[in-house]
């Protein structure tokens, strides 16, 4: 284990960190500038991105590595059997790392104010990656459904209502697969059950959008830009009002004031 990997193990591996945002960011930068394993690099890249957003720091010299990291992890999954990765730690599970990367990436696209159509195109690619997954488990649910909710909302804003409904329908099918894959007689960990609870919240908001478009129910307290941001974001929005404002700017639409679309 080299110095960078030791830093990762001591400061990044566990989600409960005692260091400041600046300290974590600096450590991540050192790790990402060193020779480390794909798993360590990928995990650190997501943490680094969120810290940059929390710090309102628009510089991200390592963002260029997102695409190659995701592709390398997917290539590894092509030759890896289900039995090899289904019991891996979340910091070592290739698909867990993939969905962590795609989620942190679209957060960065919001923060860096990328054009709406680029964000939509990127989210659609993420959707294809999620849909093509051979095996899904409860630890994946948090990032998956936050991503699907935001994709659903972007399609709503763009007036792509049929696509919005398709995403929601696929999301329910994915959720059923996750539940079915939970081992019989074995309870999920408390952390993974919490992930499922957060996924349920995102699904509830997404289905409220379906009801809105179908003219069934118009629940403004659920299907509105603020609720969508809170249910889809991995960022603490009360501590990052700037990110909240940028997200609201993207998903604000007159459609939230119309019924019977």
H or E element in which residue 249 lies: helix 241-251
CB 39 within 8 A of CB 97: yes
Q: Show Cβ contacts of residue 173 under 8 Å, excluding neighbours closer than 6 positions.
A: none
pTM: 0.92
> Tokens in use for 231?
């249910």
pLDDT of residue 135: 82
Place of tokens 């960190």: 17
Place of tokens 């488990």: 137
pLDDT of residue 83: 46
The domain spans of the chain are 1-112, 130-261
**Angstrom distance (rounded) from CA 7 to CA 225:** 39
Low-confidence ranges of the chain (pLDDT < 70): 15-17, 79-90, 183-186, 254-255, 257-261
Label residue 56 left, alpha or beta by phi (over 0 means left) and psi (-120 to 50 means alpha).
Answer: left
**Angstrom distance (rounded) from CA 197 to CA 181:** 17
pLDDT of residue 242: 94
């Amino acid at each position: 284990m080299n110095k960078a990997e030791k830093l990762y193990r001591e400061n990044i591996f566990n989600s409960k960190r005692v260091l400041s945002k600046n300290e974590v960011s600096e450590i991540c930068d050192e790790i990402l500038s060193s020779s480390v394993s794909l798993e360590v690099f990928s995990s650190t890249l997501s943490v680094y991105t969120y810290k940059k957003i929390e710090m309102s720091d628009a510089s991200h010299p390592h963002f260029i590595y997102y695409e190659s990291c995701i592709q390398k992890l997917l290539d590894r999954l092509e030759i890896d059997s289900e039995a090899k990765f289904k019991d891996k730690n979340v910091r070592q599970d290739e698909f867990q790392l993939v969905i962590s990367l795609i989620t942190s990436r679209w957060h960065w696209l919001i923060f860096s104010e990328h054009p709406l159509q680029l964000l939509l195109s990127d989210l659609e690619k993420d959707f294809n990656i999620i849909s093509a997954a051979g095996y899904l488990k409860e630890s994946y649910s948090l990032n998956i459904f936050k991503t699907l909710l935001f994709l659903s909302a972007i399609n709503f804003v763009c007036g792509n209502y049929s696509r919005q409904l398709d995403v929601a329908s696929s999301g329910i099918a994915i959720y059923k697969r996750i539940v079915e894959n939970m081992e019989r007689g074995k309870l999920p960990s408390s952390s993974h059950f919490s992930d499922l609870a957060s996924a349920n919240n995102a699904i509830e908001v997404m289905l409220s959008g379906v009801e809105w478009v179908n003219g069934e129910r118009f629940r403004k307290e659920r299907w509105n830009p603020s609720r969508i941001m809170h249910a889809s974001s991995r960022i603490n929005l009360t501590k990052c009002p700037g990110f909240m404002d940028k997200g609201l700017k993207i998903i604000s639409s007159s459609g939230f004031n119309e019924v019977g679309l």
